[in-house]
Chains A and B, each alone.
Chain A
Amino acid sequence: MQKENQLIKFTKKGIYCPQGKFYLDPWKPVDYAIISHGHADHARWGMKNYLCTNDSKPILKHRLGADIKVQSIEYGEHLVINGVDVSFYPAGHVIGSAQIRLEYKGYVVVFTGDYKTQPDFITTPFESIKCHTFITESTFGLPIYNWKKEEELQGELHSWVENNRINNRASVFLGYSLGKAQRLLSLLEGVDDDIYVHRSIYNLNEAISASGFQLPETKLWSADLDKKTLQNKVIIAPPALLGSRMLKRLPNPATAICSGWMQIRGNRRWQSVDAGFAVSDHADWNGLIDAVKSSEAEQVYVTHGYQAVFSKYLREIGINAKELITEYGDETLINSEVETDKASAE
């Protein structure tokens, strides 16, 4: 059987497959990049060739430019590159997100990118795959992170909106344009006839819908809208808008941040907002452990997040795990991307 250290190598540009001559979510420009999902820390500019899922393709084109060279395949479809069998499996993180599976001479490596094991109402649910080497993220790799069920979150968000309405307040939800915004839309369906979204979300949704993906209907929240129109309404916007003039112009807004970090009181209180909901697109503690265990991998690499803590714990429960330093999980990068969206919108 093929040895793991020959199938993938950890280089300064990213995770490399020498046999296949391609990189997985590289952070430096390379010839051939296989992309797990469309977030800016995983899908970066400057690759000569991109490969991603069919659902990710419009997102990559929207964010990186229509002129990028990108090939796409369906979840579960196989593509052989220089003898390496490449396929994508749902990661449950954002629309189009995938775990990347590589197989060569019977040896299997799975790179999760970012993932969430709990099903939601919009992304294709996470699928567990058996492999020899499993490369997992660890954004929420501490036992204090355990998410509520989707139905419970839905109930909380709906009653928050209703309560705001009683108090004559508009409800503003802050979450990343890609992933959190669509997830929130699915969670908030039925709460109001119209849901308004910021332009960065509106444009991205257009791009996603154009490729045939069904998204809930939204209205564009633009600066020239009459104040009265937005009275008591529901608005979804990227986090970078916190403190912006556009947000302040809303009639009596109540603002909620939606992020896994909101699990901790200190984080909720750090931001001056009216509510914090622990809605995360990443696996929680039990999700991470389940994913690692069901991969049955003989070697586990732990990337971005609590990699030191999580890999130490895995070793204690008898799993061969190592820390792997990558350049994923850079929130400033994801934020700066939204900043550009904001600049173009205001």
Chain B
Amino acid sequence: MKLFSELISALEITNKTNAKIDALVDYFKRAPDKDKLWLIALFTGKRPSRPVKTTLMRAWCMELTTLPEWLFLESYSTVGDLGETMALLLPEPNHKLDLSLHEWMTELKALKPKSEEDKKAFVLEAWSGLDQQERLIFNKLIGGSFRIGVSKKTLVNALSKLTGIDSNQLMHSIIGNWTVDDITFEELINGTHINYDNSKPYPFCLAYALEKELPELGEPHDWIVEQKWDGIRGQIVKRNNEIYIWSRGEELVTKQFPELVEAIKNFKYDFVIDGEILAMKDNDVLLFNDLQKRLNRKNVTKKLLEEIPIGFYAYDLLEYEGDDMRSVSFIERRQRLETIFDSIALPDHLQLSFLVKFEKWDELHEIRNNSRAINSEGLMLKQKHSPYHTGRKKGDWWKWKVDPLTIDAVMIYAQKGSGRRSSKYTDYTFAVKKDDALVTVAKAYSGLTDKEITEISQWVNKNAIERFGPVRTVKPELVFEIAFEGIALSNRHKSGVALRFPRIARWRKDKPVDEIDTIETVKQLITST
């Protein structure tokens, strides 16, 4: 497992994508075929199901180390990763096991149906024969994420660099139907098991943020305006009775959205359309937070399908019956798209993105300001006669987002993050005033620099009121400006309001705690939006 262990070390230390790609390429050059296949399987969610339960492994680790449970948990909350915590706590190895990645995975697959006793014997034997880093990897091979920042896209880019094969084709190949036992590495990367002609996507056309006054764009009637829906951009490819859904990040996400695949099947034409994947219920677009619950799931349960149904708003037509439409003007593409969508009785969750009707530029201000009410991020302005560009090009497409709302709140709890962030207090809970007390209004994880997080972590260490467990209650002293995209009344929240997409706009070192917002001023934002 030496090669694999070296790879993991190289991947975990760097946050530069290129360095990760180089480490992967190096591994692919040196590792045996079966190991390469397992690596791809492990990083694309094709791993076998967990053969040993975490609770058992935890119990065995505590038994071996004779540590009390509270101390085990204290260690876990400091490390932020269970597999790593166990690797650090376990005693020094007393012999040396040397198996390849393929051999370990084969053993682990065989372990699944065995008795608890057999499993325990196997795991303990492995723990006592591996050093700290190898133990960590072993624990991760049993289950759990490696948390080393290797996405499918990174993996595919490395394979592409190694072989010169188009990265989207490789994406289709690794996502396709294969198992380590029935394919060679050569066959997998050459895509003998797939038909890339059916799935091949186009590069997305991307917009810049509007940087001028509306009248500077020219005549209003040369522009088409749509809502800027707040989901994930998606490209639906339908060719020869096969359907593929690509995300903006060029990952194949078809299996995550079965309700879209079902709806698309009803069309008799072949096409490629660009649009927005959204969480949608009863014709209403839900919050992005809701959509997130549907993303990157290995299995989409029936319950989840009912709780958070997915919808699609179509923006554009890139290919029609085998013809590349991208050089045709937007207005024509849009008309063709409308014709296609008129050809069947559309289900509620598959719709054209509606166009905003306006005569004069001035009218758009109010429409933009109201976009929050329908869970849109603002407006998109598209030049009527523009082609569908490759990538980001200035001039024809503009995004015009609504300004975020902000409040000043005080930090009351801090919690350590996970992965790279496990060493610092990175997750905070904020409160505003309610009479003489404080009431929680938001949790936020992003918006600060590493330097600020380090400073806050040191402050938390000194100013924590509770010192056990993962959550630190701190003196209400640090004030932050919290930005968010929307606000609504909510019964589920103690404060009575729910903020959408809260994040830290800045640390208000200049502001004393008694000048933070009150829950009343926060609620006023509801009526004013």
Interface residues on B, range: 20 to 34
Point out the residue from B14, B68, B75, B423 that lies within 8 Å of A144, measured CB to CB.
B75
Complex Cα spacing A344 to B419, Å: 37
Q: List 7 A-B contacts (CB under 8 A).
A: A264-B84, A267-B422, A268-B12, A269-B419, A272-B15, A309-B71, A332-B458
- Asked if residues B89 and A264 are in contact (CB atoms below 8 Å), the reply is no
Known A-B contacts A142-B78, A144-B78; A266 and B423 likewise in contact (beta carbons under 8 Å)? yes
The B-contacting residues of A in range 314-343, CB under 8 angstroms, are 316, 331-332
Task: Give the contact stretch, choosing among A48-56, A180-188, A230-238, A273-281.
Answer: A273-281
CB distance from A21 to the nearest CB of B (A): 30
CB distance from B6 to the nearest CB of A (A): 11
Point out the residue from A261, A272, A313 that lies within 8 Å of B423, measured CB to CB.
A261
- Asked if residues A266 and B81 are in contact (CB atoms below 8 Å), the reply is yes
Q: Does A212 contact B (CB under 8 A)?
A: no
Complex Cα spacing A267 to B67, Å: 24
Complex Cα spacing A129 to B68, Å: 29
Complex Cα spacing A275 to B133, Å: 14
Give the dominant DSSP class at B's interface.
helix
Q: Point out the residues of chain A lying under 8 angstroms from B467, CB to CB.
A: 308-309
Per the CB 8 Å criterion, the residue count for chain A at the interface is 26
Q: Point out the residues of chain B lying under 8 angstroms from A331, CB to CB.
A: 458
CB distance from A59 to the nearest CB of B (A): 25
Known: A276-B13, A308-B468, A309-B74; 8 extra A-B contacts, CB below 8 A, are A145-B88, A264-B423, A265-B84, A266-B419, A267-B422, A269-B12, A272-B14, A275-B13
Complex Cα spacing A272 to B419, Å: 14
Q: Point out the residues of chain A lying under 8 angstroms from B136, CB to CB.
A: 265
Q: Point out the residues of chain B lying under 8 angstroms from A144, CB to CB.
A: 75, 78-79, 85, 88-89
Q: Point out the residues of chain B lying under 8 angstroms from A313, CB to CB.
A: 68, 71
CB distance from B375 to the nearest CB of A (A): 35
- Asked if residues B84 and A273 are in contact (CB atoms below 8 Å), the reply is no
The A-contacting residues of B in range 7-24, CB under 8 angstroms, are 12-16
Q: Does B424 contact A (CB under 8 A)?
A: yes
Q: Point out the residues of chain A lying under 8 angstroms from B85, CB to CB.
A: 144
CB distance from B452 to the nearest CB of A (A): 13
Complex Cα spacing A270 to B147, Å: 13
Complex Cα spacing A146 to B90, Å: 10
- Asked if residues B13 and A266 are in contact (CB atoms below 8 Å), the reply is no
- Asked if residues B458 and A143 are in contact (CB atoms below 8 Å), the reply is no
Q: Does A263 contact B (CB under 8 A)?
A: yes
Q: Mark A244-288, 1 if CB is under 8 A from B, else 0.
A: 000000000000000001011111111011111000000000000
CB distance from B263 to the nearest CB of A (A): 42
Complex Cα spacing A308 to B458, Å: 17
Complex Cα spacing A146 to B85, Å: 12
Q: Does B65 contact A (CB under 8 A)?
A: yes
Point out the residue from B15, B75, B418, B458 that lies within 8 Å of A142, measured CB to CB.
B75
Complex Cα spacing A312 to B469, Å: 13
Known A-B contacts A142-B78, A264-B79, A264-B423; A269 and B15 likewise in contact (beta carbons under 8 Å)? yes
- Asked if residues B422 and A264 are in contact (CB atoms below 8 Å), the reply is yes
Q: Point out the residues of chain A lying under 8 angstroms from B421, CB to CB.
A: 266, 270
The residue among B71, B89, B419 with the most chain A CB atoms within 10 A of its own CB is B71
CB distance from A208 to the nearest CB of B (A): 29
CB distance from B257 to the nearest CB of A (A): 32
Minimum CB distance partner of B72 in chain A: A143
Minimum CB distance partner of B88 in chain A: A144
Complex Cα spacing A273 to B81, Å: 21
CB distance from A132 to the nearest CB of B (A): 27
CB distance from B149 to the nearest CB of A (A): 9
CB distance from A62 to the nearest CB of B (A): 27
Q: Point out the residues of chain B lying under 8 angstroms from A143, CB to CB.
A: 65, 67, 71, 75, 88-89
Q: Point out the residues of chain A lying under 8 angstroms from B79, CB to CB.
A: 144, 264-266
Q: Point out the residues of chain A lying under 8 angstroms from B78, CB to CB.
A: 142, 144, 264
Complex Cα spacing A309 to B74, Å: 8
The B-contacting residues of A in range 101-150, CB under 8 angstroms, are 142-146
Complex Cα spacing A270 to B419, Å: 9
The A-contacting residues of B in range 404-451, CB under 8 angstroms, are 417-424, 450
Q: Point out the residues of chain B lying under 8 angstroms from A308, CB to CB.
A: 467-468
- Asked if residues A266 and B422 are in contact (CB atoms below 8 Å), the reply is yes
Q: Does B80 contact A (CB under 8 A)?
A: yes
Q: Mark B60-86, 1 if CB is under 8 A from A, else 0.
A: 000001011011001100111100110
- Asked if residues B423 and A273 are in contact (CB atoms below 8 Å), the reply is no
Known A-B contacts A142-B75, A142-B78; A266 and B420 likewise in contact (beta carbons under 8 Å)? yes
CB distance from A343 to the nearest CB of B (A): 18
Complex Cα spacing A331 to B455, Å: 11
- Asked if residues B74 and A270 are in contact (CB atoms below 8 Å), the reply is no
Q: Mark B458-476, 1 if CB is under 8 A from A, else 0.
A: 1000000001100000000
Complex Cα spacing A261 to B88, Å: 13
The A-contacting residues of B in range 334-391, CB under 8 angstroms, are none
Minimum CB distance partner of B86 in chain A: A144
Minimum CB distance partner of B80 in chain A: A266
Point out the residue from A145, A261, A274 that lies within 8 Å of B14, measured CB to CB.
A274
- Asked if residues B13 and A273 are in contact (CB atoms below 8 Å), the reply is yes
The A-contacting residues of B in range 128-173, CB under 8 angstroms, are 136
- Asked if residues A316 and B68 are in contact (CB atoms below 8 Å), the reply is yes
- Asked if residues B468 and A309 are in contact (CB atoms below 8 Å), the reply is yes
- Asked if residues B458 and A265 are in contact (CB atoms below 8 Å), the reply is no
- Asked if residues B74 and A269 are in contact (CB atoms below 8 Å), the reply is no
Complex Cα spacing A272 to B467, Å: 29
Known A-B contacts A143-B89, A144-B88, A270-B420; A265 and B71 likewise in contact (beta carbons under 8 Å)? no
Complex Cα spacing A144 to B76, Å: 9
Q: Point out the residues of chain B lying under 8 angstroms from A276, CB to CB.
A: 13
Complex Cα spacing A309 to B423, Å: 17
Q: Point out the residues of chain B lying under 8 angstroms from A332, CB to CB.
A: 458
Q: Point out the residues of chain A lying under 8 angstroms from B13, CB to CB.
A: 268-269, 273-276
Q: Point out the residues of chain B lying under 8 angstroms from A272, CB to CB.
A: 14-16
Q: Point out the residues of chain B lying under 8 angstroms from A266, CB to CB.
A: 79-81, 417-423
Complex Cα spacing A272 to B20, Å: 13
Complex Cα spacing A276 to B423, Å: 14
Q: Point out the residues of chain B lying under 8 angstroms from A269, CB to CB.
A: 12-13, 15, 419-420
CB distance from A99 to the nearest CB of B (A): 25
Q: Point out the residues of chain A lying under 8 angstroms from B419, CB to CB.
A: 266, 269
- Asked if residues B75 and A270 are in contact (CB atoms below 8 Å), the reply is no
Q: Mark B1-40, 1 if CB is under 8 A from A, else 0.
A: 0000000000011111000000000000000000000000
CB distance from B456 to the nearest CB of A (A): 12
Point out the residue from B70, B81, B88, B424 that lies within 8 Å of A263, measured CB to CB.
B88
Q: Which 10 A-B pairs have the closest CB atoms?
A: A266-B422, A144-B88, A267-B423, A269-B420, A266-B423, A308-B467, A144-B75, A270-B423, A309-B74, A142-B75
